[in-house]
Amino acid sequence: MAIKHDYYQILGVSRDASDEEIKKAFRKLAFECHPDRNREPGAEARFKEVNEAYQVLSDRNKRSMYDRFGRVDGDGGFTDFGFGGLGDIFESFFNGFATSFGGTQRRVPQKGDSLQTHLTLSFQDAVFGCSREVEIQRIEYCSSCHGTGSEPGTSPETCSDCRGMGQLRRVQQSIFGRYATNVPCDRCQGSGTIISSPCSQCRGRGRVKVKRKMKVDVPAGVDNGQRLCLHGEGSAGLFGGPAGDLYVAFSVQPHRFFQREGSDVLYDLPINFAQAALGDEVGVPSLDGKLKLKIPAGTRSGETFRFKGKGIPRIDGRGKGDLLVKVDITTPQRLDKNQRRLFEELSRVLPRSEPPR
């Protein structure tokens, strides 16, 4: 399946191109299709594409992320590779414009529609990554006629009105003199071909709506609101255009006692007065098993202890976040006789805070 956003292909470099090669390729292409210099239709879209490719491939982190996942974006503080859905809207608008511009109708390849589906993940699945299945509905080329629209064994005929050009030349008289314009051929609607025996499967459309089950490899570390892009898994394109993309948006369910802040995991640890005053060694839960925490004597409520690298894998592949354990000193709600006696004893010897004079 064709991939529209193959940034390497756009810049015409190999997947192991050096930074220098990428820069060189970008400069050359940007010069060629800069809208100020190049007035051909499509140059602007091409310039935008080249720019987008360079933004990603010239940045080491974005490039490695792109190599691994294609495109991952969202509001989770991770990379958003510039032109997202809006870009696609702009592109189709621009394509539509180019198609009808100057009164000519051409069979401009058009990218297929991009689709979005949704996956709800448990906290654990989001943290460690998982493999899931989604069911989508997309438009594919008809398998019976391979997208031609003609019943198998037959083929579309060349339109006799326009001789396959899809357009007719019309000479008109105006006050400025005679001028010629191209108008789309009515008979073949600009396609240049006539389907005399339409395919029975797709009724001559060449494309059909199908339901597909797809396996999605969810990378470790995804967060609420982030999307994964599966290149070329959207609907089929038109006139040989590339297929659209499939976006999988995630929502992540909360954990029973962990909270998440980006790639850090937060945990509130309840301890009592004595542990805080005297210090203690306690077990704390982490994503990969129990850890030991040494609470120093004189620990205050709210103090936070950090376990480096015990958090969630960063989606860009740069290691893991941390586990932050926040100490919460709990006040006993009910005291038995013995405890009461000890607290009363403590109360006699501990200094009282005096109001400032």
Binding site for Zn ion (CB under 5 A): 142, 144-145, 159, 161-162, 185, 187-188, 199, 201-202
Nearer CB in complex with Zn ion: 193/263: 193
| CA 151 to chain CA centroid, nearest Å | 38
| CA 288 to chain CA centroid, nearest Å | 28
The CB-of-219 to Zn ion minimum distance in angstroms stands at 37
Nearer CB in complex with Zn ion: 145/222: 145
Give the bridge partners for 228, in sequence order: 72, 248
Nearer CB in complex with Zn ion: 209/308: 209
The CB-of-153 to Zn ion minimum distance in angstroms stands at 12
The CB-of-160 to Zn ion minimum distance in angstroms stands at 8
User: How far is the C-alpha of 12 from the C-alpha of 254, rounded, in Å?
Assistant: 44
Is residue 159 within 8 A of residue 194, CB to CB? The reply is: yes
Nearer CB in complex with Zn ion: 65/195: 195
The CB-of-241 to Zn ion minimum distance in angstroms stands at 18
Eight-state DSSP code of residue 14: -
Listed in order, strand segments (DSSP E) in the chain are 71-73, 115-121, 130-141, 157-158, 167-174, 177-184, 193-194, 207-218, 227-230, 246-252, 259-261, 264-271, 280-286, 289-295, 304-307, 323-329
Nearer CB in complex with Zn ion: 114/191: 191
User: How far is the C-alpha of 309 from the C-alpha of 322, rounded, in Å?
Assistant: 5
The CB-of-97 to Zn ion minimum distance in angstroms stands at 23
